[in-house]
Amino acid sequence: MARIRRRVRAHGKVQGVFFRDSTREEAERREVKGWVKNRDDGSVEAVFEGEPDMVEHMVWFVRNGPGSSDVARLDVDDEEPEDLRGFKMT
């Protein structure tokens, strides 16, 4: 099955609101591989890799702001899959 990879960066009220943990839980439910982490500038960055429908769902999930977050802007970039294993929260 084809795999795709998206790198996203969420800006707005995205730190201190369980954004990373909610994203990790959703990715694990969808069997999407990758990682999510806080950035020093207050944004959250994540990489999603897996089946196209599941990865696009994760982009939608982050864009709509899990929990009590408020995503003001979402940057999305396509990348080549790297055959990641599991999903990490750093």
- CA 35 – CA 14 distance, rounded (Å): 16
- On the question of pLDDT at 5 being above 80, the answer is yes
Of 3, 7, 9, 38, which is the active-site residue?
38
> Could you tell me which of 34, 37, 50 has the C-alpha nearest to residue 10?
37
pLDDT at 31: 97
- Here the CATH number for the domain that contains residue 28 is 3.30.70.100
- Per the annotation, the verdict on 64 as an active-site residue is no
- On the question of pLDDT at 1 being above 80, the answer is no
pLDDT digits (tens, 9 = 90+) for 26-74: 999 999 999 999 999 999 999 999 999 999 999 999 999 887 899 999 9
pLDDT at 24: 97
- Per the annotation, the verdict on 20 as an active-site residue is yes
Question: Whole domain around residue 44: which residue ranges?
Answer: 4-89
Of 6, 20, 24, 30, which is the active-site residue?
20
Residues 63-90 have a mean pLDDT of: 94
How many domains does the chain fold into?
Answer: 1
